[in-house]
Amino acid sequence: MNILIIKCIELRNFRNYDNQIIYFNEGNNNIYGDNAQGKTNILEAIFLCVTGRSFRTIHDDEIVRFGQQSYYIKILYEKDDRENTIEIESDLKRNREIILNQIKVKKVGELLGKLNAVLFCPENLSIIKGSPAERRRFLDIIISQVKPTYFYELQKYNKILKQRNILLKEKIDYNKKLSGIEVWNILLSETGKNIIYDRMDFIKRLNKYVALNHRYISNNNENLIIKYIPSFKINKEIEELTRSDIQEIYYGNLKKNIELDIEKRVTSFGVHRDDFDIMINNSSVKVYGSQGQQRTAVLSLKLSEINIIKEITEQTPVLLLDDVMSELDSTRIKLLMNRLGDIQTFVTSTEKINDNHLLNEIKYMSVSNGNVNTT
């Protein structure tokens, strides 16, 4: 098993950072300071280099330091016993540029899988309590890391979906619309089947780990399972379906619901509306779970993300813990740390973490107004 290690990060005009290089410990890194000083910005920059997207915004103009027109991030990391670099530069007047080991790449998908990370932050509760879009986003980000082809399928699907919806909105003859939409039905079902199959496969893998992790965290008192919920009716167990089965059912539902789609002028079902439910002892955590159970379920999910990345990539990801010490009680923190094993960890907190029985070999970094100092 190869261990990923981020050695340093350089930030220029990123959020409230002017120009700074930050060096990290290969074990645990505690980034602490008052609120709104720039702690989370460091984790955001790392996550951006992992996925090509921020976990806080979709707009680059919100990331650029006030009064500037561009930002720059460079990460130096070790993988497979060699040093690698990821650079991201965004000029508000031009497109964002991604450079891997000094070679410019054209697509975000080429970045995926180069450096893997798992993010755990208070906002992760939205996986439980939020909309289906939040849960799909969770799936899409992690699957794209371990299987970049999935990312391209998503992009293709969204383009096809956009064209189908444009046609549904057009004011043209009904028969002409019906005829034109057939092409998009075929393409949508062809692409959609791959996305559903990959999500099903991922959840199957996830269930193996999440059950073990949750039993450990709950002291064997609770059983947790994740169930995939497609947006269209399937008459047998979804786990038993092949890709061909899914495509046939998908296409059939598109045909059956065409009148509804024309009336609503939008594609009413598909992978863009699918969901999953997290069950503890056969009850939905979202509906019936206590706040403590919801937090523990998210913790189990995040630990399982690490397990899956290790299994599929044979690489140990880095772990980004953003202000979770204020969200978890001491028992859950201890369980989390004991479960991590050999993994580079970045922890933000308002105060220095002094619990050495929880975190050993810590490098402490204080942050004040976009300046980082080692203490």
Amino acid at 285: V
Rounded CA-CA distance 128/135 in Å is 8
234 in the same domain as 97 = no
Q: Mind giving me the DSSP string for 62-130?
A: GTBPTT-SEEEEEEEEEETTEEEEEEEEEETTS--EEEETTEEES-GGGTTTSS-EEEE-GGGGHHHHS
Residue 89 above 60 pLDDT? yes
Q: In 3D, which of 120, 123, 51 has the Cα closest to residue 304?
A: 120
77, 115 contact by CB (below 8 A): yes
- Convert the pLDDT of each residue in 180-208 to its tens digit: 899 999 999 999 999 999 999 999 999 99
Domain count, the chain: 2
CA atoms within 13 A on the CB side of 306: 26
Q: Mind giving me the DSSP string for 277-288?
A: EEEETTEEHHHH
Q: Can you give the pLDDT at residue 357?
A: 45
Q: Can you give the pLDDT at residue 214?
A: 92
Domain holding 243, by residue range, is 125-313
Provide φ and ψ at 120, rounded to 5°.
-125, 115
195 in the same domain as 270 = yes
Mean pLDDT rounded to a whole number for the chain:
90
158 in the same domain as 85 = no
216 in the same domain as 105 = no
Rounded CA-CA distance 48/59 in Å is 12
Rounded CA-CA distance 57/221 in Å is 38
* CATH code of the domain containing 322: 3.40.50.300
328 in the same domain as 305 = no
183 in the same domain as 272 = yes
Q: Mind giving me the DSSP string for 317-371?
A: PEEEEES-TTTS-HHHHHHHHHHH-S--EEEEESS----TTTS-SEEEEEEETTE
* CATH code of the domain containing 162: 1.20.1050.90
pLDDT band per the 50, 70, 90 thresholds, residue 176: confident
Residue 375 above 90 pLDDT? no
Q: Residues, the chain, total?
A: 375
223, 234 contact by CB (below 8 A): no
> CA-CA distances (angstroms) from residue 232 to 201, 209, 264, 273?
18, 28, 17, 9
Residue 2 above 80 pLDDT? no
- Convert the pLDDT of each residue in 101-136 to its tens digit: 999 998 999 999 999 999 998 888 899 999 999 999
305: its two tokens = 């993300």
pLDDT band per the 50, 70, 90 thresholds, residue 353: confident
156 in the same domain as 31 = no
